[in-house]
Amino acid sequence: MARMVDAVQPYCDEPIVAAMTCSHAGSMRSVLASKLSGGAGALSRTSRLPNPVFIAVGANTIFAFDYRPRGFKFKIKKEAARWPRSEVSVAVDRSSNMAYFTLTTAGGESYAMEITTLLGGGELVDAFFAALSA
pLDDT at 41: 41
The candidate with the shortest Cα–Cα distance to 122, out of 89, 98, 91, 101, is 98
Compute the Cα dihedral for 114, 118, 119, 125 and give only its sign.
positive
- Domain regions of the chain by residue span: 2-133
pLDDT at 51: 92
Q: What is the mean pLDDT of residues 107-133?
A: 87
Give the integer Cα–Cα distance in Å for 38 and 79: 34
Give the integer Cα–Cα distance in Å for 77 and 80: 9
What is the tens place of the pLDDT at every residue in 34-82? 334 444 444 444 468 999 999 999 999 999 999 998 877 899 999 999 9
pLDDT of 7 > 90? The answer is: yes
Give the integer Cα–Cα distance in Å for 79 and 87: 19
Q: Pick 2-133's CATH classification: 3.60.15.10, 2.30.29.30, 2.102.10.10, 3.40.630.30.
A: 2.30.29.30
Report the chain's mean pLDDT, rounded to a whole number. Answer: 84
